[in-house]
Chains A and B, each alone.
Chain A
Amino acid sequence: MPGLNTSSTADISFMLLIFFLVTTSMDTDMGLARHLPQPPDPDQEDAQVDIKARNILYVRLNFQGQLWVEDETTRGYADIGELRQRVKEFVKNEQNFSKWPEKHVKILDHLGRCYVTDKHVISVQTDRGTPYDAYFQVQNELVAAYAELRNELAKEKFGREYEYLDDEIKEVIRKQYYPQNISEAEPKKYGGTK
């Protein structure tokens, strides 16, 4: 009984290999992960949230992609490179400055008694003509600002980088101490002067 001639198996598997090489791609997809807010409830006609003027940082992009940053203290065109620092200072409000977001006491798990600015809102507004790249860079800087704030907090309280913390602590920091309050709708404001 002669054995089955298997000399062509190599050719067959070579052909399969080449087929896979052609039809697949190895590139890993990367991107900036964001969460969209829940859709507005149609029953609630006027569900506008009232936010104190001091709690809002406006980040506007015009049709030319120029950046305008405005809070209670300053307003004016800004460079994309400045945005990260501006956001960090605003959200942190280390000196409890009366024109930056209000701080209030909150008892948090693992962290204890903290003064947090969790009522702050960063309002990103774009024009229909704004280049996508400009918007993307703003989003990137916002994410970077929050990441740096969380990292600084982690180092200060636990002496470790944020990513090496336990998931529970991470969640407290992410959701309660430095929540990402980025709004892309126009919030109504009261109090304070324009």
Chain B
Amino acid sequence: MAAGFKRKEGREMVEMNTSSLPDLIFTILFFFMMVTTMREVTLKVKFVVPQGTELEKLEKKSAVSFIYVGPPTDQLRAQMGSGTRIQLNDRYAEPKEVMDFVAAERQGMTNQAEQVISIKADKGTQMGYITDIKEVLRKSYALRINYSASRRN
């Protein structure tokens, strides 16, 4: 061994104390649990929401139900075609089924009066679909709606 690098006797490498590492990770975990939301459903339609300037944030996530409108995703296009579809929960649905969907969603809510329906529709959707959905929403007394959009700069 080279002269200058003689290992000194009786001096061991001190191991780093990692006992607080789990606490640290748990803290990060809790942080993420608070700031994020569960991904609701697997999307079966693809959509690009319109852009607006007068947008409001969706408060109270627990009172929000989503309706997705757009053409089927690329994987499903071969079977389902490329016409506009309405997605409720995990499947395609007809406009009239929105009523049951709204009622079912309302059942699971603690603050039923604050129910908000967020319509996430593709820019290019024809208004006919939206009008049908709105008509059913009116009939089911889900009057607070939200046209999902992204902010325009």
A→B interface (CB under 8 Å): 6-7, 9-10, 12-14, 16-17, 20-21, 23-26, 28-39, 61, 126-133, 135-137, 139-140, 143-144, 147
Residue interface bits B47-78, CB-to-A below 8 A is 1, else 0: 00110111111100100100001000000000
Instruction: State A126–B148 Cα separation when bound (angstroms).
Output: 19
| A13-B64 in contact (CB<8A) | no
User: A20 CA to B39 CA in the complex, in Å?
Assistant: 10
12 A-B contact pairs sorted by A residue (CB < 8 Å): A9-B22, A10-B18, A30-B149, A34-B146, A39-B138, A61-B127, A129-B126, A129-B128, A132-B123, A132-B125, A139-B147, A140-B54
Q: Do most interface residues of chain A lie in helix, strand or loop, or is the interface mixed?
A: mixed
Contact A31:B123 (CB < 8 A) given known A20-B33, A36-B143: no
> In chain B, what residue has the closest Cβ to A61?
B127
Interchain CB contact under 8 A, B127 and A20: no
Interface pair A39/B139, CB less than 8 Å apart: yes
Chain B, range 110-153, C-beta contacts under 8 Å to A: 116, 118-119, 121-128, 130-131, 134, 137-139, 141-151
In the complex the two chains form, what is the Cα distance from A14 to B37 in whole Å?
Answer: 19
With CB as the reference atom, state the residue of chain B lying closest to A127: B127
Question: Known contacts A29-B64, A39-B139, A131-B125: does B56 contact A16 (CB below 8 Å)?
Answer: no
- CB neighbours of A16 from chain B (8 A): 29
List 10 A-B pairs, minimum CB-CB distance, nearest first: A128-B128, A24-B36, A9-B22, A133-B123, A13-B25, A31-B146, A130-B127, A140-B52, A132-B125, A136-B50
Tell me whether B104 is interfacial, beta carbon within 8 Å. no
Whether the Cβ atoms of B57 and A29 lie closer than 8 Å is: yes
**How far does the Cβ of A125 sit from chain B's closest Cβ, in whole Å?**
10
A17 closest partner in B (C-beta): B29
State in angstroms the CA–CA spacing of A37 and B56 once bound together: 20
B79 interfacial contact with A, CB 8 Å: no
Q: Which residues of chain A are within 8 angstroms of B37 by Cβ–Cβ distance? A: 24-26
Q: Which residue of A lies closest to B116 (CB)?
A: A33
- Return the chain B residue nearest A128 by Cβ: B128
Q: Could you tell me the distance in whole angstroms from the C-beta of B116 to the nearest C-beta in chain A? A: 8
Q: A24-B33, A33-B56, A136-B149 are in contact. List 19 more A-B contacts (CB 8 A).
A: A6-B22, A10-B21, A17-B25, A24-B36, A24-B39, A25-B36, A29-B58, A30-B56, A30-B58, A31-B58, A31-B118, A31-B119, A33-B144, A33-B146, A34-B145, A38-B143, A137-B50, A139-B147, A140-B149
Consensus secondary structure, chain B interface: mixed
Given A10-B22, A135-B127, A135-B130; A36-B145 close (CB under 8 Å): yes
| Cα–Cα, bound, A140→B56 (Å) | 11
Q: Give complex CA distance A20, B118 in Å.
A: 24
Q: Is A32 a contact of B124 with CB atoms below 8 Å? A: no
Most chain A Cβ neighbours within 10 Å, of B53, B118, B122: B53
> Chain A residues near B138 (CB, 8 Å)?
36-39
- The contact string, 1 if C-beta is below 8 Å from chain A, for chain B 22-49, is 1001101100110111110000000001
| Distance of A147 Cα from B146 Cα, bound (Å) | 17
Q: Is the CB of B126 within 8 A of A131?
A: yes
B38 proximity list for chain A (CB < 8 A): 23-24
B36 cross-chain contacts in A, Cβ below 8 A:
20, 24-26
